[in-house]
């Protein structure tokens, strides 16, 4: 938490900043700070001492407030690095330390990450598990000349702090701050962006091949792959290619037995086996025929029994990845060996923080928490429910009524709220690991046998299975239901995780139904409708986080919706707001506020992008001269350009304004900040209407 030095008597909202972060003040507040989401204000009442939460409405216009006790009563101070960490701005500074000082540095680094992430939420457990590895790699290798890739990138917090970003680490995942993942445009030490899993081996191999072509024989290329990323098919493809090369490539397998949820599959079982047994127990001994020496036979047996040796990698380990002395010794030896090699390390996710070690899934990205106890600080809106919970509970209801309904997830059962169904029907939920391509085709196989697969995938990860959606599902008109989670802008995870392309890339696929609910009830009814649709794939995209209805309102009786049918939400005149999905709520609020200015736009919810309601669209174009489209996907290829094409095809000449994601990658920040950047917030919608209507 960040605080002011000196005495502050009066400050005004939006006028005082500390370390680039806007502070919101509160009358009689003893301390105030920004939380996530950014419109949340936490404050302690100066009279009762109770902790309160406010959504920011009462100070929206700004007001002068007295804060004479702000500094004296500040309960938490700015996290400060320990003396060793404070002296490290680059890995060159790290190398000045004696080896016996490194365990203390690891403690300081771990404490610093905890101090910051407890207040400024981010990914926690993964980075805590690789503190020692991060120090050892930068201590032994010559980064950034030696190329280092972190896969998945949320392991890289310690790496970022050691490579010049310590003093801005508190801006992590915030607007205009540093990214939560390695980013090439942020630092020369971030050699490759890794927001998605299983890419490091391929990227590092490409870099190694380039170095070989350049004659850079002394350059090392290191891929740290962990948090389940080795289960991804692309990692196996990279291993296959690298093993047939002579590349100077080191793969460090960070084996912590967990991605977000526990790892699944045979690779997980294999790693557990070789981690739990000493290889010597499996090596034969004695006299052997044909002149083979004892060591020759042992080596031959080891190579045939070790998966990575079978891929022609020199295999080392497993070793304790949280023992910095062992890491240093091993890395020095491995560094001397040419060709592709793999070091297998065992780490503990959440290492050094008791609650994070005990509750590894929860502390993967826990939000704000008490630094001392690990207790989570709830920031949930009162009496609201997330789209994810609506999806998970509705899917369980449908599964109870239809035994053919099954669920598939690529390593995201908790994030997509499939736990409800897992608890009751574990045999009907398939976690296939970080393998989106496989997840889609696996779902297609289930559909051929008469099952109703709900293939539940984050929008950003569905991009990885585009060919399978086309070739294995849509081409064969297989009735796979795609539950596309985290559609739209997701906030702090940034451009690697925004789900803004699915509308455009699904819109171009024949035989697809593409739908987007405006609220929780509509999500529920679309899921029911999709469960009974047999003519082909049915995609339902829904946003991350809380909806707009009270928690008691969403669980309404199932109702089958007419596919391709939209509806009018609000009558109006002159202008029409044509919406798809969640932005319809912003349009409704904008329309209500504009009534005070005697401006009365109509609001329409299309529900379906494909097929869409042509009868309704003709009505809109005939009645309203000015049309504004709203979507939380890219305009190009989505609703906006599709509506423009519809107008051209039918000879309409209405004025059309498209609001949505522009043709650029949107950086990280709070969802409300990003909506404003994309002109999807209420005020921007109002301005767009005024611009079209007023002379």
Residues recognised as catalytic: 349, 436, 464
Q: Please count the helices (runs of H) and the strands (runs of E) in the chain.
A: 25, 24
In order of 262, 380, 455, 470, 629, the CA distances from 462 in angstroms are 21, 28, 10, 12, 25
| Range list of H helices, 369-455 | 387-401, 419-424, 436-448
**Beta strand 10-12 pairing with 64-66:** antiparallel
Tokens encoding 506: 């699904």
**DSSP assignments along 484-519, one per residue:** EET-B--STTGGGT-B-SHHHHHHTSTT-EEE--SS
Cis geometry, peptide bond prior to residue 505 (ω within 30 degrees of 0): no
Distance CA 115, CA 169 (A): 11
| Residue whose pair of structure tokens reads 């009442």 in the numeric block | 45
- Which strands form 626-634's sheet, in the order they lie side by side? 567-570, 602-605, 575-579, 626-634, 655-661
In sequence order, what E strands does 19-170 have? 21-22, 29-34, 41-45, 51-54, 64-66, 147-151
Distance CA 363, CA 342 (A): 28
Distance CA 340, CA 205 (A): 9
In order of 173, 311, 489, 526, the CA distances from 561 in angstroms are 39, 52, 26, 7
Cα-Cα-Cα-Cα torsion 592, 597, 599, 600, nearest 10 degrees, comes to: 30
Short-list 542, 402, 410, 537, CA closest to 480? 537
Tokens encoding 575: 């202008």
**Burial class of 331 by CB neighbour count within 10 A (0 to 12, 13 to 18, 19+):** buried
Q: Give buried/exposed letters for 126-160 (b at 16+ CB in 10 A, else e).
A: bbbbbbbbbbbbbbbbebbebbbbbbbbbbbbbbb
Distance CA 301, CA 279 (A): 10
End-to-end CA distance of the chain: 49
Asked if 640 and 507 touch (Cβ cutoff 8 Å), the reply is: no
In order of 152, 271, 323, the CA distances from 228 in angstroms are 9, 11, 21
Distance CA 526, CA 601 (A): 27
In order of 113, 259, 366, the CA distances from 117 in angstroms are 6, 19, 9
Distance CA 110, CA 309 (A): 34
Distance CA 159, CA 190 (A): 9
Please tell me whether residue 538 adopts helix, strand or coil conformation: strand
Query: What does DSSP assign to residue 323?
Result: -
Tokens encoding 267: 């690779």
Distance CA 137, CA 123 (A): 21
Phi, psi of 29 (to 5 degrees): -70, 140
């Amino acid at each position: 938490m960040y605080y002011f030095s000196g005495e502050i008597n009066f400050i005004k909202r939006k006028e005082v900043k500390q370390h680039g972060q806007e502070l919101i003040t509160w009358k009689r507040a003893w301390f105030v700070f920004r939380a996530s989401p950014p419109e949340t204000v936490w404050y302690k009442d100066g009279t009762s001492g109770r902790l309160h939460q406010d959504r920011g409405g009462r100070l929206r216009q700004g007001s002068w407030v007295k804060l004479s006790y702000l500094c004296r009563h500040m309960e938490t101070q700015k996290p400060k690095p320990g003396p060793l960490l404070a002296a490290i701005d680059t890995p060159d500074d790290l190398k000045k330390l004696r080896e016996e000082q490194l365990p203390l540095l690891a403690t300081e680094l771990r404490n610093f990450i905890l101090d910051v992430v407890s207040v400024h939420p981010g990914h926690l457990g993964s980075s805590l598990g690789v503190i020692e590895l991060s120090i050892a790699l930068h201590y032994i290798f010559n980064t950034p000349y030696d190329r280092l890739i972190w896969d998945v990138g949320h392991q890289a917090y310690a790496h970022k702090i050691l490579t010049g970003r310590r003093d801005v680490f508190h801006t992590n995942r915030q607007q205009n701050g540093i990214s939560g993942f390695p980013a090439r445009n942020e630092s020369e030490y971030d050699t490759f962006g890794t927001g998605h899993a299983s890419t490091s081996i391929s990227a590092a191999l490409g870099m190694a091949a380039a170095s070989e072509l350049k004659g850079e024989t002394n350059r090392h290329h290191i891929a740290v792959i962990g948090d389940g990323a080795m289960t991804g098919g692309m990692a196996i493809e990279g291993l296959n290619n690298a093993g047939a090369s002579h590349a100077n490539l080191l793969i460090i397998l960070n084996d912590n037995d967990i991605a977000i949820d526990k790892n699944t599959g045979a690779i997980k079982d294999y790693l557990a086996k070789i981690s739990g047994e000493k290889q010597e127990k499996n090596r034969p001994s004695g006299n052997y025929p044909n002149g083979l020496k004892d060591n020759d036979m042992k080596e031959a047996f080891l190579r045939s029994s070790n998966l990575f040796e079978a891929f022609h990698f020199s295999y080392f380990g497993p070793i304790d990845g949280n023992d910095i002395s062992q890491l240093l010794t091993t890395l020095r030896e491995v560094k001397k060996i040419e060709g592709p090699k793999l070091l297998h390390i065992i780490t503990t996710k959440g290492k050094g923080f008791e609650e994070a070690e005990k509750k590894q899934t929860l502390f993967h990205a826990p939000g704000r928490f008490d630094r001392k106890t690990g207790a989570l600080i709830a920031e949930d809106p009162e009496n609201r429910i997330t789209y994810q919970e609506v999806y998970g509970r509705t899917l369980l209801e449908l599964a109870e009524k239809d035994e053919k309904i099954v669920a598939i997830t690529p390593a995201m059962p908790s994030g997509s709220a499939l736990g409800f169904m897992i608890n009751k029907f574990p045999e009907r939920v398939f976690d296939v690991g970080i393998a989106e391509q496989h997840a889609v085709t696996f779902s297609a196989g289930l559909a051929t046998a008469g099952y109703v697969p709900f293939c539940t995938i984050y929008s950003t990860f569905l991009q990885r299975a585009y060919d399978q959606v086309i070739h294995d599902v849509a081409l064969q008109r297989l009735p796979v239901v795609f539950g596309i989670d985290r559609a739209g802008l997701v906030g702090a995870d940034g451009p690697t995780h925004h789900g803004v392309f699915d509308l455009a890339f699904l819109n171009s696929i024949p035989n697809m139904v593409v739908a987007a609910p405006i609220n929780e009830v509509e999500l529920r009814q679309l899921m029911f409708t999709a469960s009974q649709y047999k003519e082909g794939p049915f995609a339902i995209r829904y946003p991350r986080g809380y909806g707009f209805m009270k928690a008691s309102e969403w669980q309404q009786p199932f109702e089958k919706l007419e596919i391709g049918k939209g509806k009018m939400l609000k009558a109006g005149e002159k202008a029409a707001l044509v919406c798809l999905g969640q932005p319809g709520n912003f349009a409704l609020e904008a329309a209500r506020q504009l009534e005070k200015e005697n401006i009365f736009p109509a609001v329409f919810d299309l529900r379906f992008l494909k097929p869409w309601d042509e009868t309704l669209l003709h009505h809109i174009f005939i009645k309203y001269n000015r049309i504004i489209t709203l979507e939380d996907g890219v305009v190009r290829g989505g609703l906006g350009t599709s509506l423009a094409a519809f107008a051209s095809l039918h000879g309409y000449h209405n004025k059309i304004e498209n609001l949505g994601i522009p043709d650029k990658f949107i950086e990280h920040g709070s969802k409300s900040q990003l909506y404003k950047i994309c002109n999807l917030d209420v005020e921007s919608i109002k301005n767009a209407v005024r611009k079209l209507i007023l002379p």
